[in-house]
Structure formats: C-alpha cells, structure tokens
Structure 1
C-alpha cells in the first residue's frame, strides 16, 4: 500500500518585506527539503505578522489535519507555543536553544559562544568601543547573543553599545544611526540585511568602512560577499541546519525520543569591512 503524503508546517512571524530581504530562511528551506522531499514529506510555509495569527495557524492546521508536524522557530523563554503544539498533539521540532524547547527535539547553535568569538575577533583588531544592532529582544537567540557579547566585552574591558533592530534594512539603519552617535569603532549586526544598512548609515554620517568603522554581519550570504566593501561575517552552514531540522522532523514523526542536534560551528569570514585600528 502506498503511504499517504505527509506534510510538515513552518510558520514565520515576519513582515513580508523582512522575509523577502533576508536570505536565511531561503537557505534553511533548501536544506530542509533536500532531506524531506526524498522521504515523501513536503513543507507548508505560512507567513504571519503577529503571534496571535501564528497560534491560530497551528490550531487550524491541527483541526483540519493539514500537517503531520511542525517546526518552531524564534522561541523565547517559557514560550507558549511549546505547550500549544503538545496540546494539539502535533509532533514538533525546535530550532533554537535547548532551554526554550521544554523537552522537544532541538537543533541548536551556540549563539552566546559565537557572539563571544565575534567580540574576541574585534578585540584582536584593537577595537575597544563596539556596537551591537540586535534582532527582536523577545527571541531567545537575541538574548543569548547579547549576553555573550556583553560578557566578553566586560571581560576584556570593552564598551558595548546596544540598539534594537528588527532584521529589516530600515530598522537596522535607524538602530545604526543611534549607535553611531555614540562613536563606536565597530558594530556587530544580528543579520546580513541590517549589516548592509550599517554601510548606508555610516555613509550618511560621513564615515568610511573600514577606515572609520568596522562592520561584522551575523549570517553570511551572497549579499555580504557582493557588498562594497564586502562584509566580514559570522558564517553558519544554514543549509546544514535545515538538513538537521529535517532529520529531527523525520525522527519526531516516527515517534523516536527527543534529541538535541548540534549545528556545525560558526566561524568568522574576514572580508574588507573590518580593519585593525591604527
């Protein structure tokens, strides 16, 4: 007997403009489908603008039996979605820190540790006053990156300046302008799109990158490579993260015990947007 088609759902709470600008989830989906498609599992992606709409989507999918399981992203501490999908009897996989998963299978990247590496890289170039343009603060990975940056900066006697962004170009530009008013010599951005906005904000302020300001992006991409100057970046193997998520999904659908899957280590790719202080 032929097995009925299976489907896994992914809800992204993003403004459509942000999702269109940001390549991360496009790469993630490539890796996800590379493993799921041969296994006869398709991916249903729903883009929503707020948490209420996301919760309503899970409830509708469960009631209509639209999906066999879900992938949860952008979790915060004590996230309500974990209990929700359990109550809906939807097998689920978390992309994020295991502390947010409440026992669900998890694909994990060491955001705090990688943030410390970014600070160490800039310290090695002689920077002492650095900025951080964050993603939305409710996300656990934003909090972990910020805590990692803060801890490493404090340990090295460096000043850390923080402004909140939203992953969009416009939001990143506003946050960059706030930090630039405080005279940093380097800024770390929580995604590649906001790092590109940092180039624009620096030009607006009459600064040259990297002579006056070094920039590091979180998440490497073709956009980082094609920027002028090309952006140094904390590079993750996003497609591999998608493959690990697919492996975790197949295990969850088979009823296997929950595991934590460690994503490959990230590393700094050095390009022309960073430079030693003279």
Structure 2
C-alpha cells in the first residue's frame, strides 16, 4: 500500500483501518469499561468516514511496537493511536520514522511532537486533592496505575505535590488497574495504625475491588474510609454505596481522538487538543 497522502487535498482511505495496539492483560481489559466507551466514541467519528478501528491486545510494549512495525511494513493500517505511553517511549520514534499518521492520548511532552489529545490529568488531580482537603481529610491515599506509564507518573507527582501544598500527608500504593490491586491496597491499608481517611484510585475497577474488600474487613464506607474512583463508569453509579469518581465523558474523549486522527489522516499540522479536565462527582463513598 502506498504511503498515506498528505496536504490539504488528502483524505482518509475508506476501508483501511487505523490501528490501536493496546498493552493490557486480557482479564483486566475485560473488566475495564473505559476502552469500550473510548472506542465507541472514536468509531462515532471514524466509521462514517469509512475508517474502521483495528484493536490488537498485546502483553508488552515490545509486542505493541512489533505489531506496529508489521502494520507499517505490510500497509495494513493508514494510521495509529498511541495510548498509555512510557517516558521516552520507543513507539513515538517508531511512528515518526514510519511516517504513519498518528494521535497520542497523553501529555504533549510524552507525545514528542506528534498530534496529541491530553486529558489534563494534573489539573484533575489538583482539583480532587483540594476537594478532599476541604472536606476535612488530612491523610490521603493514592492507588496508582502501572508505575512506568507517563500519565501514572504525572498523577502521582501531582497528587504528592498538591497534598504537600495543602500540608496534608500521603500514602501511595502501587496498582495495575485490576480488581485484585484494589483488594491488595485495602488489605495493606487496614494493617496501618495511622491510615489514610480517603483514597483515590487510578481507575474504577480497582476502586470497586477496594469497596468489596472494605466490607469483608468490617470497614465502613465512608465513615471509616472514603473511596474515590477515576473514570466514572456505570459500575461506580451502581455500587453500594455509589462510588464518588473523578468523572469525564470517555466517549467524548474518543470523539476528540477520532477528529484528531481524521485531521492527521488528512495532513493537518500536528498540535495538541486539551480535553476538558475530569471533575470530582461526589456520591455515597465520600
């Protein structure tokens, strides 16, 4: 397949997909509503243009890079979406060398000059910490996503800096977006003599695992412990008690990425689109 056309007269190639090589454990992906909603939002924009989305789930970053090389070598896709990048990620250089149109879901620094849609996780985390402090919490917990991911680093650093700015203490736990990670965090937290009174989780599945474990351990939510999820899926709203969540419209994010990718396929100049930052929605767990 010839390289995609560029310039003002370029158009997406109907019938040729754009690729998303997603590094995820299959079990975690099956339980995580985020990507179902995200891809639905992208397809709302791209499918009417005749551009399907090709999703490939892989186990490692290296496998994702290998898959993208194969896509480019065999002309199987006309563009790619990059998400959950690492600092200095090899996939950025790979896409740049290949010339494939691309959109990064991430901060502009990690995107390395590629078109990006940035969810402003730093702004959202600053707002969450401020609201928790205003609610009277003086010791905050954070259950982070995979430690090597750039957006995890941004959230963790912002959480710690914002808490320090308000003069409150922090305890951080490592997670991997799985329900089991939420259970492990609460088990570790329950063993502390001086534990946080509010915990922010980097996704909804970990928060739900934590909620189930608090009941098993005899902790009351929110009387003993407040729980806050990130990504406000229907699972948060149906939980008992309903989970407070750092909420943004994931399908709208997918639409923003779809429009950005359509622009990249048409030769539009690289730039960064800032999605509206997520905001804390208070429910029964806070």
Give the TM-score normalised by structure 1. 0.95
**1:228-271: CA deviations, max 9, x gaps?**
00000010111111011011111111111001111123111110
TM-fit CA distance, 1:89: 2.2
Q: 1:162 to 1:226 in 2, by over 3 A?
A: same
User: For residue 261 of structure 2, what is the aligned residue in structure 1?
Assistant: 249
TM-fit CA distance, 1:30: 0.8
**1:202-229: CA deviations, max 9, x gaps?**
2233210011100010110100000000
Further displaced range: 175-184 or 212-221: 175-184
User: For residue 248 of structure 2, what is the aligned residue in structure 1?
Assistant: 236
User: For residue 141 of structure 1, what is the aligned residue in structure 2?
Assistant: 151
- Indicate if the aligned counterparts of 1:92 and 1:105 stay in contact, CA closer than 8 A: yes
Q: What is the alpha-carbon distance in structure 1 between the residues aligned to residue 143 and residue 116 of structure 2? A: 26
Q: Matched residue of 2:269: which SS?
A: coil
User: For residue 85 of structure 2, what is the aligned residue in structure 1?
Assistant: 75
Mapping for residues 1-278 of structure 1, pairs under 5 Å: 4-182=14-192, 183-274=195-286
- Indicate if the aligned counterparts of 2:123 and 2:277 stay in contact, CA closer than 8 A: no
Further displaced range: 88-97 or 221-230: 88-97
Q: What is the alpha-carbon distance in structure 1 between the residues aligned to residue 95 and residue 203 of structure 2? A: 28
Q: Matched residue of 2:228: which SS?
A: strand
TM-fit CA distance, 1:4: 4.5
- Indicate if the aligned counterparts of 2:121 and 2:278 stay in contact, CA closer than 8 A: no
Q: What is the alpha-carbon distance in structure 1 between the residues aligned to residue 23 and residue 119 of structure 2? A: 20
Further displaced range: 175-184 or 32-41: 175-184
- Indicate if the aligned counterparts of 1:70 and 1:91 stay in contact, CA closer than 8 A: yes
TM-fit CA distance, 1:79: 1.2
Q: Matched residue of 1:93: which SS?
A: strand
Kindly indicate whether structure 1 or structure 2 has the higher relative contact order, using CA contacts under 8 Å at least 6 residues apart. 2
Aligned length: 272
Further displaced range: 195-204 or 245-254: 195-204
**1:103-132: CA deviations, max 9, x gaps?**
110000111111111111111111111110
Q: What is the alpha-carbon distance in structure 1 between the residues aligned to residue 89 and residue 80 of structure 2? A: 15
Q: Matched residue of 1:41: which SS?
A: coil
Q: 1:152 to 1:4 in 2, by over 3 A?
A: closer
Q: 1:4 to 1:273 in 2, by over 3 A?
A: closer
Structure 1: which 5+ runs fail to align? none
TM-fit CA distance, 1:145: 0.8
Q: What is the alpha-carbon distance in structure 1 between the residues aligned to residue 236 and residue 176 of structure 2? A: 18
| Structure 1 runs (4+) greater than 6 angstroms displaced | none
Q: What is the alpha-carbon distance in structure 2 between the residues aligned to residue 179 and residue 95 of structure 1? A: 32
Q: What is the alpha-carbon distance in structure 1 between the residues aligned to residue 82 and residue 277 of structure 2? A: 21
Structure 2: which 5+ runs fail to align? 1-12
TM-fit CA distance, 1:88: 2.1
Q: What is the alpha-carbon distance in structure 2 between the residues aligned to residue 127 and residue 204 of structure 1? A: 24
Give the TM-score normalised by structure 2. 0.93
